Structure 1
């Protein structure tokens, strides 16, 4: 691969992070306010990791929204099962 070539994967990953932001932000419809704050803090940590990996690890950036979606689904589903969260 040409060293000067720009990898498309960071752009794909950031588009995915924008999509996952809406999942995390709209969680207030089914989870309590404090859980939304924790979810948003988790999303912010993942976003910072994606930003830091932009140049040194461009393919990892594309994996971050996949991990973010799996975490969101697991946490919201687990919270609903354990604490009875519902809309």
Structure 2
């Protein structure tokens, strides 16, 4: 059941989490330290979920970086609109 396409999709999902961590850490230029801490904890949870679903559900692994990106954007938008986070 280890189809090469499934393994490739799983690896793409894991590789997609790496630049997401960079975005989360660099958010400290706009967001306060506690928000960056929450971002890093969420990234760790995304990585754990990706590792657990790597073989059984590789499409979920591929979707996790996209979900993390959408969450990052939503939190920064909310912080800008309602909490006065600015660069």
Q: TM-score, normalised on structure 2?
A: 0.92
Structure 1 runs (4+) deviating above 6 angstroms are none
Q: Does 1:5 align with 2:3?
A: yes
Q: Does 1:20 align with 2:20?
A: yes
Root-mean-square deviation (CA, aligned residues, Å) is: 0.9
Count of aligned pairs? 85
- Structure 1: 5+ residue stretches without partners: none
Match in the other structure for 1:80: 80
Q: Which structure carries more helix by proportion?
A: 2
Match in the other structure for 1:49: 49
Deviation at 1:59, TM superposition (A): 1.4
Q: TM-score, normalised on structure 1?
A: 0.92
